[in-house]
Amino acid sequence: MKYNQPVKVYFTSMLLALSLNLFSQDSLQYADESHFKNIRQLTFGGDNAEAYFSFDGKWIIYQKTNTKEGIQCDQIFIGKVPTKENEKFVPIQVSNGKGRTTCGAFLKDGKHIVYASTHLGSSDCPPIPDRSKYGNKYIWPLYDSYDIFLSDTKGNIIKNLTNQPGYDAEATISPDGKTMLFTSTRDGDLDLYTMNIKSGAVKRITTTLGYDGGAWFSPDGKKIIWRASRPKTEDEVKEYKELLKENLVAPTRMEVWIANADGSNARQVSQLGQANWAPAYMPDSKTIIFASNHEYKRGFPFNLYLMNEDGSNLRKISRDKGFDAFPMFSLDGKKVIFCSNRNNGGTRDTNIFIADWVD
């Protein structure tokens, strides 16, 4: 599921985890991770997040920060998925290196991508908010210079798809390749919108107060799935609106929601509390995979879970002591990709892992 940064609800928790030495035992695969087979690590070092398959499953797109390589804030990379044991994963940077980027996705033709970037606002990395001003709460910046761009896979920007004031990001593409689903603040709240890629026609599909983001279509194209916050009490609503005025959001209480592809019949699926996010449908368009920290009051670890689309039959499928998130299946259901703190030598690195899926 898509996040508006090198997304980490877990960043503060990771610092605590490191201080408690919870990463002392690294592993590529943990006991009880029975759904993963032939797991392979694709990246080594830095923050590598939001890795998603192309429609044919042959490529992935992701965002990366690595100060040791001179990448000061997220840039978009693509890479061909290795098909042989000794074949290397060789990523290619396709964003222009200016500003901050996020949320890449392939178009159906495999020759074009969409992603959000702040580079029209400034060539520099945008500033990170000072959390001390907000009681040290975890907050995300909603950079109003983010716009969504259409590019080819060689890095040539073809079109600026959004040009409204405010935050536009978190774009994904429908299975038929005709519609882009994204999050925007153009109407004063963090809502979901669809855009006809050919005509540019935009439609708002969520209207309830709260953060609606990280949305995906189901593989059959009939439904959408996303993460949402729903401030309810007077204090929660006040805090949400005050942060939003400053282009900020506190994404610590989120649940999984689904709806028809046009936004109708929207309903909450998870009822777990804390942060439940990065949801995606499995290839059957019925089962949901997502990341959650609901088992842990301290806010970490984040692990991957499966559930039915009515919220039943919840089961845990990953076991890292820090962070597992951003799961996505290849359309044929044979491969799963995710990002994790596992096997990072006790560092803060987040890397990309791919595995064969075992039912």
Check whether 146 has a pLDDT greater than 70: yes
26: pLDDT confidence band, cut at 50, 70 and 90?
confident
b/e sequence 302-317, b meaning 16+ C-beta within 10 Å: bbbbbbebebeeeeeb
Which phi-psi region, left, alpha or beta, contains residue 132 (left: φ > 0; alpha: ψ -120 to 50)?
A: alpha
- pLDDT (tens digit, 9 = 90+) per residue, 148-157? 999 999 999 9
Q: What is the pLDDT of residue 136?
A: 87
Type of residue found at 257: W
Rounded CA separation 347/344 (Å): 6
Q: pLDDT grade, residue 53 (50/70/90)?
A: very high
Average pLDDT, the chain: 93
Cβ-contact 205, 193 below 8 angstroms: yes
Q: Please compute the mean of the pLDDT values over residues 249-274 and round it to a whole number.
A: 97
- Say if strands 315-316 and 303-308 run parallel, antiparallel, or are unpaired: antiparallel
The domains located in the chain, with CATH, are 11-357 (2.120.10.30)
* pLDDT of 115 over the 60 cut: yes
pLDDT at position 17 over 50:
no
Whether the predicted model's global pTM rises above the 0.95 cut: no
CA 228/CA 253 separation, integer angstroms = 8
Among 14-28, 89-103, 305-319, the minimum mean pLDDT is found in: 14-28
Asked if residue 12 has pLDDT above 50, the reply is no
What's the pLDDT at 287?
Answer: 98
Preceding omega of 126 cis (within 30 degrees of 0): no
Question: Which residue do the tokens 């963090």 mark?
Answer: 190
